[in-house]
Amino acid sequence: MALTRKAPKAPPPRKARLSREVVLAAALELVDAEGVDALTMRRLGQELGRDPMSLYRYAASRAALLDGVTETVLDELTVFADDVDWQTQLRRMAHDLRLVALRHPNVVPLLVTRPLSTPLGLRPLAALRPLEQILDLLIEAGFAPADALHVYRAYYGFLYGHILNELQEFIVDPDENEAILRLGLHRLPAKEFPRLRALGPVLADYNGETELDQGLGILLSGLAAQLSGPHPKPVA
Amino acid sequence: MALTRKAPKAPPPRKARLSREVVLAAALELVDAEGVDALTMRRLGQELGRDPMSLYRYAASRAALLDGVTETVLDELTVFADDVDWQTQLRRMAHDLRLVALRHPNVVPLLVTRPLSTPLGLRPLAALRPLEQILDLLIEAGFAPADALHVYRAYYGFLYGHILNELQEFIVDPDENEAILRLGLHRLPAKEFPRLRALGPVLADYNGETELDQGLGILLSGLAAQLSGPHPKPVA
DNA sequence: GCGTAAAGTCTACAGCGTAGAGAAGGTGCC
DNA sequence: GGCACCTTCTCTACGCTGTAGACTTTACGC
């Protein structure tokens, strides 16, 4: 009897009590492995050894479940609150988000589109926390609140744009990448797309990390210069 | 008899010959009006007074139909090929795309996510044409091809990011906007989100156009400076 | 041991994308 | 005119989807 009590937290193959966390984790796993479309209630139920309907205890609908998945992913973001320079701080966050996106490419479509259906203030808190954090960081660094907002917008805009860009450029592993890429480009009418075709080799070796970093550098220093930025505390 | 022959191109309520253009136009209309989810084969068939299956003559699948819709939207982009400065040229294109996005907000999710499932070279030509155009523009302006690619990436990244940002910020018309926005912000735990809540008023009057323009300005001039840019032909 | 609330299940329904076979319609040749 | 042909369109059917509502099982406090 004492044995059948309750396994504390181990993941036994079948029948442990469900919980929102468990459900979302399984959902994320499924999305990572097979894409958003594979996440159906029936399939997820099967994955958990439960009736599909039991999931509705932990997510009000499939849409809510998807929101939960994005929230779970955003929770992977590690928060640093050191006192380094605001620019490097933003850079670090950006790279962090980039890595999360690369770790869960199938979630990125959700990341960028789900918010579109929810007015800003009504989003999951996890989605707003970075915003608040960054605003705080910038204001703390000396920006006027309104300017902080501008900086944030440019920053996040660029960041999300970059992530979309990067995910579009490679999909397969770098080995066959080049071949496939070339194959694709080869299809293009030479007359209409001379530039693109000529850039094939350059396209093949793409380094998202440095590309992001450089773009951010330009943008941030530009912003700092234009807005009567933070009192520039030189590196004493 | 002569009457029932064939109406040449007018849109009679029911039975004119279908065509890919007609189908895609109807699809776009539906998406604009009711969102992506409303675009089902059955519904679209009904809208056209046809059996759903007839649509498969003009789009191989629902996914292909969605691709067709995005292509249709991108075709709205007007192409300028004047000889003005490359920066203002890029600016103009950006504003153009922004307006298209605002005109078809429901299509934006498709615009940003569909390419994720298609390797670069295999995308619809309409999606690649802007890339080619911009590369050409930049190289013509004096950039080295590889640098042109960097500029393009930063530019498009920022542009798409901005569009996503902007669409997230307003959804409703500006009148009730403020109220709803405030309502949303009000919900936020005051302790955790002081900055965001304080910015309510500022958030309410947002001008996407100038926001885009300024961000672009910063980015482009930064790029021009960093890369051994185009031979700077000063404004004689 | 029992009562109660929570957790999980079953059944059912309307709607989905689309395969495959067939009907209707237009067009050209004799 | 009549016939053949090819394109366009329709019908039927299948397996899948999300989820409402009623039911059964389980866990837990007293």
Rounded to an integer, what distance in angstroms lies between the CA atom of residue A229 and that of residue A226? 7
> Could A128 and B193 be called an inter-chain contact, meaning their C-beta atoms sit closer than 8 Å?
yes
Of B112, B122, B196, the CB nearest to A131: B196
Report domain extents, chain A.
20-59, 86-226
| pLDDT score for B73 | 94
| pLDDT score for A18 | 81
Distances B168 to A51, A114, A117, B10, B165 between C-alpha atoms, Å: 36, 10, 8, 38, 5
| pLDDT score for B7 | 32
CATH number of B15-74: 1.10.10.60
| pLDDT score for B15 | 61
Decide if A115 touches B, using CB distance below 8 A: yes
Architecture of domain A86-226: Orthogonal Bundle (1.10)
Rounded to an integer, what distance in angstroms lies between the CA atom of residue B75 and that of residue B32? 16
| pLDDT lower than 70: segments of chain A | 1-15, 170-185, 227-236
A20-59: CATH class: mainly alpha
| Phi, psi of A40, rounded to the nearest 5 degrees | -115, 160
Which nucleotide's C1' is closest to B41 (Cα)? Answer: C17
| pLDDT score for A12 | 38
Query: Which of A116, A147, A159, A210 to mutate to test binding with chain B, by most B CBs within 10 Å of its CB?
Result: A116
CB A211 within 8 A of CB A203: no
Distances A166 to A148, A210, B116, B130 between C-alpha atoms, Å: 26, 11, 10, 17
Q: Over chain B (236 residues), what is each successive 10-residue block's mean pLDDT?
A: 34 64 95 96 94 94 95 86 83 94 95 82 77 89 89 93 86 55 70 84 82 92 75 50
CB-CB neighbors (< 8 A) of B132 in chain A: 192-196
| Phi, psi of B80, rounded to the nearest 5 degrees | -105, 135
CB B26 within 8 A of CB B47: yes
To the nearest 10 degrees (0 to 180), the angle between helices A145-169 and A125-140 is 130
Helix, strand, or coil here: B200? helix
| pLDDT score for B178 | 60
| Phi, psi of B39, rounded to the nearest 5 degrees | -80, 85
CB-CB neighbors (< 8 A) of A128 in chain B: 188, 193, 196
Query: Which of B112, B210, B212 to mutate to test binding with chain A, by most A CBs within 10 Å of its CB?
Result: B112
**Cα distance from B55 to chain A (closest Cα, Å)?**
23
Rounded to an integer, what distance in angstroms lies between the CA atom of residue A92 and that of residue B26? 45
Decide if A161 touches B, using CB distance below 8 A: yes
Query: Looking at the domain B86-170+206-226, which fold is it?
Result: Tetracycline Repressor; domain 2 (1.10.357)
